[in-house]
Amino acid sequence: MKKSSSNGVLFDCGRTERIGLPEAVFCPGKPRAILLELFERFQKRPVLFTRLEEEVFASLPLTLRRKYDYEAISRTAFAERLAHQTGRVAVVSAGSADAPVAREAARTLDFLGYGYTLYEDSGVAGIWRLNDKLSEINDHEAIIVVAGLDAALASVLGGLTPRPIVGVPTSVGYGLARGGESALASMLLSCAPGVAVMNIDNGYGAACAAARILRLLKG
């Protein structure tokens, strides 16, 4: 079911029933009037706002901001979470520069009702950092790998764990990193079989993919 607002926004209210995942609000590019209307509309319902810059959230009325759980690093906000779900996801990032994308994935999982553990700064340049956490990572049902530069973490972890992996290349890096295109190509060319790959910086999409996996595992 689609429901229109006074500003012409057609919100897909029936998406959860169809696919098990609710529609989210992608904030960049939306006029402030539309965002304000959506924030007012969903202050008592579980809707996730993504890519919400801190200054945009700060421009909302204080009474409205107090209704929402906002995190600046992930640029996400929600007023209500979905019901708790069984299943846990490990979110593993290569470096602290990948934090916005890794935390977008983690916050999306939190919003969707799934447990997660965030393993930051686990890049393969210091392979001991990954080795020290591998047994813990394998205690989760699915893994999201977030990495920029050469994105080698996805291939390395893909060769060390039997868990389903969803890779997220990030736009982190100098020169030939090409805004994440090199990381994307590296993940797509991974010699580790069965590593699924999302678009550049798409932590939200990776969390949704992991949620779909968990739903199937739990029947």
Q: Which residue has the higher pLDDT, 8 or 111?
A: 111
The predicted model gives 21-28 an average pLDDT of 89
Residues 6+ apart with CB under 8 A from 161: 134, 137, 138, 143
Q: Domain-by-domain residue ranges, the chain?
A: 2-78, 88-217
CATH number of 88-217: 3.40.50.1970
Q: Which region among 8-12, 80-84, 120-124, 210-214 has the lowest average model confidence (pLDDT)?
A: 8-12
Q: 44 exposed, middle or buried (CB, 10 Å; 0-12, 13-18, 19+)?
A: exposed
The predicted model gives 23-35 an average pLDDT of 91
What's the pTM?
0.90
- State how far the Cα of 165 lies from the Cα of 158, in Å rounded to an integer: 7
**Can you say how many angstroms the Cα of residue 52 is from the centroid of all Cα atoms in its chain?**
13
Residue 1 has pLDDT above 50, yes or no: no
Residues 6+ apart with CB under 8 A from 174: none
Q: Which region among 16-30, 64-78, 186-200, 205-219 has the lowest average model confidence (pLDDT)?
A: 16-30
- State how far the Cα of 47 lies from the Cα of 9, in Å rounded to an integer: 14
Quick one: CA dihedral 166, 120, 126, 184, positive or negative? Answer: positive
Q: What are the CA-CA distances from residue 94 to residues 123, 154, 156, 218 (Å)?
A: 4, 9, 11, 29
Helix or strand run (H / E) with residue 197? strand 195-197
CB 101 within 8 A of CB 77: no
